[in-house]
């Protein structure tokens, strides 16, 4: 059983969070992952689209994590300048076996310097901005997702679902990942380099 923690912050992108959570929280893999949500403080956090999600934990009582997932969204433009958030990401990423980001969540990982000297990708529409957050990162423009060591980074929004299925294939097994994609009726991009939006 791996504890997967999802970071929430004001104006996070809904699908960046709930696309992957459909994968990791599905009953077919529920015995492999325990999902929790974390924000500065426990309680409701407003998304970029308006609906709120509930953070189970604040930074102060965050449990030990095996997997950290950092979403993107318009809020990342503000959050990259929050030293408390950036320090928290750096600390948790250092202690966590697997770290993932969706979309512009890679900007937060980059500002925390955890992607330095690693390959990573991000949302293509925001690519040039994200690159400025991590000049020592080897940014890959044409990729649906990138895996480098314990780090997984995906392109924009729905690419987080493809990345999450790749993570399930890596952490559980490929057959489970394929079966899960079919169960949720998702047409999967199983090739990390197959990025139709690049």
108-162 pLDDT per residue, tens: 999 999 999 999 999 999 999 999 999 999 999 999 999 999 999 999 989 999 9
CATH of domain 2-183: 3.40.50.880
Question: Residue 10 burial by CB count (10 A; 0-12/13-18/19+): exposed, middle or buried?
Answer: middle
List 145's β-bridge partners, or say none. 154
Give 104's contacts (C-beta < 8 A, 6+ positions apart).
Answer: 72, 73, 76, 77, 122, 123, 126, 129, 130
> What are the boundaries of each domain within the chain?
2-183
Give the distance between the most distant pair of CA atoms in the chain: 41
Dump the DSSP string for 23-41.
HHTSTTTTTTEEEEEEESS
Give 42's contacts (C-beta < 8 A, 6+ positions apart).
Answer: 55, 56, 57, 58, 61
151-183 pLDDT per residue, tens: 999 999 899 999 999 999 999 999 999 999 999
**Which pLDDT does position 52 carry in this prediction?**
97
Distance between CA atoms of residues 118 and 136, nearest Å: 8
Distance between CA atoms of residues 52 and 67, nearest Å: 23
Contact indicator for 99, 153 with CB cutoff of 8 Å? no
Q: What residues are annotated to the active site?
A: 103
28-53 pLDDT per residue, tens: 888 999 999 999 999 999 999 999 99
**Mean pLDDT confidence for 68-78:** 97
**Which pLDDT does position 30 carry in this prediction?**
84
List 58's β-bridge partners, or say none. 39
**Which pLDDT does position 17 carry in this prediction?**
97
> Among all chains, which residue has been given the structure tokens 């030990």?
64
84-109 pLDDT per residue, tens: 999 999 999 999 999 999 999 999 99
Contact indicator for 156, 12 with CB cutoff of 8 Å? no
**Mean pLDDT confidence for 68-73:** 98
What Å distances lie between residue 15 and 18, 107, 117, 179, 183, CA to CA?
A: 5, 17, 28, 21, 18
At residue 198 the predicted structure's pLDDT band, cuts being 50, 70 and 90, is: confident
Neighbouring CB atoms inside 10 A of 124's CB total: 18
């Amino acid at each position: 059983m791996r504890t997967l923690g999802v970071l929430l912050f004001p104006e996070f992108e809904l699908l960046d969070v709930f696309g992957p959570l459909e994968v990791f929280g599905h009953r077919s893999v529920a015995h492999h992952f325990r999902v929790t949500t974390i924000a500065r403080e426990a309680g409701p956090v407003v998304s970029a689209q308006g609906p709120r999600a509930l953070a189970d934990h604040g930074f102060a009582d965050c449990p030990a994590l095996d997997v950290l997932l950092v979403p993107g969204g318009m809020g990342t433009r503000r959050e990259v300048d929050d030293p408390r958030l950036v320090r928290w990401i750096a600390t948790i990423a250092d202690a966590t076996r697997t770290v993932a980001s969706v979309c512009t969540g890679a900007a937060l990982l980059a500002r925390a310097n955890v992607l330095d000297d690693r390959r990573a990708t991000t949302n293509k529409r925001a690519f040039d901005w994200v690159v400025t957050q991590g000049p020592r990162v080897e940014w890959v423009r044409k990729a649906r997702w990138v895996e480098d060591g314990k780090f997984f980074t995906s392109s924009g929004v729905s690419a987080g679902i493809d990345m999450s299925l790749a993570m399930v294939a890596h952490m559980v097994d490929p057959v489970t990942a394929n079966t899960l994609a079919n169960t949720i009726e998702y047409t999967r991009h199983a090739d990390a380099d197959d990025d139709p939006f690049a």
